[in-house]
Structure 1
Amino acid sequence: METAVKTKWSVDNSHSEVGFKVKHMMISTVKGHFGEYEASIVSSKEDFSDAQFGFSAKTASINTKNDDRDNHLKSDDFFNTSEYPEMTFTSTSFNGDKLVGDLTIRDVTKEVILDVDLNGVAVDPYGQTKAGFEIRGKINRKDFNLTWSAVTEAGSIVVADTVTLVIDAQFVKQQ
């Protein structure tokens, strides 16, 4: 019996973003991203239906365009980047639309389900084969011990519990 050849794909950081958004005071949305991350896919099928996804991000690379907020997010109130320098994701299944896997933030690992759109596969002008994905999902930050909370004088929650993951990733086929 012939075994399928597995192809490795590596993230193209210059054409990708690992972002998130969360409600602030329930009236506006704050967006951010992680600047330092790695991701890969291993698949033997051109439609990626058997793909295995792996991801890690340096938690200290969080960027919301506000130094005070970023420093708070790096503190023990949230990511505690000194003790937990990375967050990781390892897929357990992928059916082309839904990506299921284990997300680890701080010292907590939980199964998450993410929606995936494969935007296509194309060869760039330099002969490299690339694949583009849009990955979306929601997590409850408190499930991962990101539990800091505050309430305004008017009773509004300062930071919502639900965080929306917004990942746009382009991968390069490795030879």
Structure 2
Amino acid sequence: MAATKWALDLSHSELGFKIKHMMISNVTGKFTQFDVEAGTEGDDFSNAKVVANVDVASINTNNEQRDEHLRNADFFGAETHPNMKFVSTKVERVDDDTFTLYGDLTIKDTTKPVQLTVEDNGVATDPWGNVKAGFSISGKINRKDWGINYNAALETGGVMLGEELKLQGEVQLVKQA
């Protein structure tokens, strides 16, 4: 079977996250600029090789002051570490519609293994003849594993931010000629 390359359709994709705030609610955000490339054998993603790059300066939590803080050295250090990168190492099929995607995530020059749950939403041809594949992605990481340690103690006890980030994404890929 021939090798197939897939590129991101950014206008039909999104990459978001949630983190506990004051331990009573979640704050959500997203990255508006990212890229994903995949290599497969035909249209079979069970052995896909996936690389994703995220522009950390594109973070958006609907609060510009908070976004600027997230871009600085307390969090992502976007000036010196402008990108996060994910490189897959293995794919395991869980069932007909689900994969576990293993890979290495690099944030601020620290690389750690992660695993993501990927729901395969199928392959379809759009009205213009483009073959597209859709996926829903979820996972959890501990931000401290990547040296993102900033926090603030609360007067009532506890801390401002949780350590766990919940990741969620919707990715649409376009088969390349």
By the TM > 0.5 criterion, same fold? Answer: yes
Q: Secondary structure at the match of 1:60?
A: helix
* Equivalent residue runs for 1:1-175 within 5 Å: 4-96=1-93, 97-175=99-177
Gaps of 5+ in 1: none
TM-score by length of 2: 0.95
Aligned partners of 2:132 and 2:174 also within 8 Å: yes
Q: Quick check: which one's strand share is greater?
A: 2
* Whole-Å separation in 2 of the counterparts to 1:45 and 1:154: 56
Q: Secondary structure at the match of 1:9?
A: strand
Aligned partners of 2:4 and 2:43 also within 8 Å: no
After TM superposition, give the deviation of residue 35 of structure 1 in Å: 1.0
Aligned residue identity for 1:58 = D
* Whole-Å separation in 1 of the counterparts to 2:4 and 2:70: 36
After TM superposition, give the deviation of residue 45 of structure 1 in Å: 4.1
After TM superposition, give the deviation of residue 26 of structure 1 in Å: 1.1
Number of paired residues? 172
Aligned partners of 2:7 and 2:173 also within 8 Å: yes
Gaps of 5+ in 2: 94-98
* Whole-Å separation in 2 of the counterparts to 1:113 and 1:32: 20
Identity of counterpart residues, as a percentage? 47
Tell me the alpha carbon deviations over residues 36-66 of structure 1, each in whole angstroms, 9 at most, x when there is no partner.
Answer: 1110110004231110110001111110000
* Whole-Å separation in 1 of the counterparts to 2:29 and 2:111: 22
Aligned Cα RMSD in Å?
A: 0.8
TM-score by length of 1: 0.96
